[in-house]
A and B are shown apart, each in its own frame.
Chain A
Amino acid sequence: MSEVLSNNNNSIHDDADNVKPPIASVGIIGWIRHNLFNGPINSIITLAILYILWKVVPPFVNWAFIESMWTSSGAECQQADGACWSVIYANFRFIIFGFFPHDQQWRPLVAMILLVTLLLCSQNRNNWKKSLAYAWIIGLVIMGLLMKGGVLGLPPIESSQWSGLPLTMLLSVFGMVAAYPLGIVLALGRRSTMPAIKSLCVIYIELIRGVPLISLLFMSSVMFPLFLPEGLTINKILRAQIAIILFTAAYVAEVVRGGLQAIPKGQYEAAEAIGLNYYMKMRLIILPQALKVVIPPTVGVLISAFKDTSLVVIIALYDLLKTTQSTISNPKWMGFSAEAYIFIALIYFVCCYAMSSYSRRLERELDK
């Protein structure tokens, strides 16, 4: 067909067929021109950035990969110019599992695998059914039993030996699981028409949001023992856990309140008009809609709760950050803090990035 056309037509059309688009606006060169060198200012910026990258990236690669040591001893590392990743290789199990008895470390490992599996299953919105909630309850109980032991022939482990990554995950997961219902109750209380209940909730939420988490952790470590009757003591991890729950609940409450405010008034009135009482109105009409709206910001609260568990370092609990710190305060591995911190920063980053990109995906899906 085209042959016929080109035979019949004059030379101008012939040319138009053969003319290629200008090389400077397509392909790699076109892309570079369009995205990096469109205009003098952008060209200068691009060149400046390239110069800085040239100054920074090769030395870093050299330090981190080429001249680095991976499996040597601490003394050998002192001689090397590059990074000493051996500090992680040699202390890997201590950084991750802390003081958990060496031969029992498969238990927190199984618990963490279980947790990650549950999280992966909960990702897909098609799985959001009642059975998933039961799976979570059973899973959390199994995780608790694995950590604590004392059943099925597992030797019991003192909670003072729980440390490292399992402790970080425990504090954030149980913190969120317990803070969520408390936050919903507080949010409902804040939206209530009863002045006494409303003001109690407002005072609680604003008080907690106005102070840093660290003051609550101090409260849990130095003030809390004074609150309890003589003879009754609660262990340190549980006290920190309570502080984290109380703190996170206030933030969850504010997020849920946003969802409650986003539900049109007609929904409340319609629920009342068909004769539902307060509990049924909230349970059947309002909360299912409100909680769906606030799923993305709730993931945001979960991310900051996860990051905030690192603050328990200050009250001397051995979470992931503290086990790392005690590793590098060992004289054998002195001076390699940067490597160790980069390693656990990577762990935190992977977890938070997974959560935040999931929340963005969810936001897009829910927007449709």
Chain B
Amino acid sequence: MQPEPIDSSISIKPESIPFWNDPDKRAIFFQVTALIVVAVIGYYLFSNTQANLERQSIATGFGFMQKEASFEIGESMISYSAADTYAKALFVGVLNSLKVAFIGIVLTVILGTFIGIARLSSNWLMSKLAAIYIEVFQDVPVLLQLFFWYAIFYETLPSPRQAIHPMDGVFLTNRGLVFAVPESHPIHKYMLIAFIIGCTGVFFLKQWARKRQDETGRSFPVIRVSALILLGMPCLAWLAGGAPSAMNTPVLSGFNFVGGANISPEFGALLLGLVLYTAAFVAEIVRAGIQSVSHGQSEAAMSLGLKPGMILHLVILPQALRVIIPPLTSQLLNLTKNSSLAIAIGYPDFVSVANTTINQTGQAIEGVCLIMVVYLFFSLSTSVFMNWYNKKMALVER
């Protein structure tokens, strides 16, 4: 039996809805109201600001960036003097921030992973110590920790004349840690090039090894060979260059050391505080990630006959990383943002340089906006990278 065709000409006439009850129109009304409110508040603040600026006769705009900064910066990765512009001073600040954030992230991941694994250790002493570490360092404000380490460096370490001298060429003083570095030599550039070539080689080696394993099932000791390549290439370049071994050793002259490399107490305290604080959070994340992989997974892998190293590499880590990466990203971002606390102990990071700029020029709005834009850029670029990595690691389902 064929169903009766519906007569399209007969239709139930919808009861007309009053426009104030129509969800679509209401939505438009609410959104327009919200936008108007935001715009009015924005305009109010803007006009007040403009009136205030005019009254205090503060110039607006970023013209000040080209003026001479006329303040010194304690440490800098590029050559900088007080005669340079504000723009360059701020760039030095950004580089200093990046330096502490980058080294801090690397050390935090290493220390956090180690403590997270120690927390799961079957050794009671180790596990309890890790638990105490995590609890103590999580529950004390990071700023207080920075002050504490800075005070320790500053108050308990001796002056350069009585420097602690644990080994040849290394001096520990309240002006920082001074140590010998190789004398600069043109061969260093070639060593760097050799290292980069090595990295490229390892990348292709890994692809080739994976392809071969997929096709033939034979595995290749990628990690050992890559380590050999990465270490060997620069060493070969060094040997080829005649193995220059001159060292730039620090020497006490007057009140401080000259020569060698120096880690200032500000940088040291900042790095130590940030790393110890963030590592406590990372340890908890790592522990949760490892615990999230059920024991059956490693048993199944063992029954397949995989070696312990391969179980970790092929079964446990890929699953644990999926749980670890999103919260890890936010912790590493926190570290980057917390590096702005450098201003409290006098390390010339970006915020501290920007603050000096604000105080000297009175350009408060531009200064604060610059700080916000730079950190937003750090945050957004890190999350873009981490999202990409996360997508790569995420479970691929049918």
A residues adjacent to B (C-beta < 8 A): 35-36, 38, 42, 45-46, 49-50, 193-197, 200, 207, 209-215, 218-219, 222-223, 225-230, 303, 307-308, 310-311, 313-314, 321, 325, 328, 335, 337-338, 341-342, 344-345, 348-349, 352-353, 356
Residues on B facing A (Cβ under 8 Å) = 27, 30-32, 34-35, 38, 45, 48-49, 51-53, 55, 121-126, 129, 135-136, 138-145, 147-148, 151-152, 155-156, 337-338, 340-341, 343-344, 351, 355, 358, 364-365, 367-368, 371-372, 375-376, 379-380
Closest to A353 in B: B139
Known: A218-B368, A321-B141. A50 touches B375 (CB 8 A): no
Distance A328 CA – B135 CA, assembled complex (angstroms) = 27
Q: For the complex formed, measure the closest distance between the CB of A317 and the CB atoms of chain B, giving whole angstroms.
A: 13
What CA separation (Å) do A50 and B260 show in the bound complex? 37
Say whether, besides A194-B27, A196-B31, A335-B155, A227 and B48 are in contact (CB < 8 Å): yes
Closest Cβ of chain B to A308, distance in Å, is 7
Q: Is the CB of A229 within 8 A of B48?
A: yes
Interface residues of chain A: helix, strand, loop or mixed (majority): helix
* Residue contact B144 to A310, C-beta cutoff 8 Å: yes
Known contacts A337-B147, A337-B151; decide if A215 and B368 are in contact (CB<8 Å). Answer: yes
Cα-based distance from A362 to B31 in the complex (angstroms) = 39
CB-defined contacts of B343 to chain A, threshold 8 Å = 214, 314
Given A307-B142, A341-B147, 4 more pairs with CB closer than 8 A? A36-B123, A197-B34, A223-B364, A226-B49
| Contact residues in B for A207 (Cβ distance below 8 Å) | 372, 376
Q: Are B31 and A210 within 8 A (Cβ)?
A: no
Assuming the A-B contacts A35-B123, A215-B372, A215-B375, are A341 and B142 also in contact, with contact meaning beta carbons closer than 8 angstroms in the complex? no
Q: Which residue in chain A gives the minimum CB-CB distance to B124? A: A35
A229 to B52, alpha carbons, bound, how many Å? 8
A138 to B155, CA, bound (A): 47
- Cross-chain contact A196 with B34 (CB below 8 angstroms): yes
Contacts of A345 in B (CB 8 A): 140, 144-145, 148
Known contacts A210-B380, A226-B49; is-contact A313 B140 (Cβ 8 Å): no
Evaluate contact between B38 and A215: CB separation under 8 angstroms. Answer: no
Which one of A209, A222, A226, A349 lies within 8 Å of B136 (CB-CB)? A349
Within the assembled complex, what's the spacing in Å between the Cα atoms of A223 and B138?
Answer: 32
Q: Which residues of B contact A218 (CB under 8 A)?
A: 351, 355, 358, 367-368, 371
The CA of A325 and the CA of B372, in the complex, are separated in Å by: 28
**A310 and B124 within 8 A (CB):** no
Which residue, of B35, B141, B148, B367, has the highest number of chain A Cβ atoms within 10 A? B141
Measured CB to CB, the nearest residue on chain A to B139 is: A352
Q: How distant is B212 from chain A, measured CB to nearest CB, in Å?
A: 34
Question: Taking each of A207, A311, A335, A356, which has the highest tally of chain B beta carbons within 10 Å of its own beta carbon?
Answer: A311
**Are A348 and B141 neighbours in the complex by a CB distance under 8 Å?**
yes
Closest-CB distance, A354 to chain B (whole angstroms): 9
Are the C-beta atoms of A46 and B123 separated by less than 8 Å?
Answer: yes
Q: 5 tightest CB-CB pairs across the interface, nearest first?
A: A337-B151, A352-B139, A35-B124, A196-B31, A210-B379
Contact check: which of A193, A227, A335, A356 meets B139 at CB < 8 Å? A356
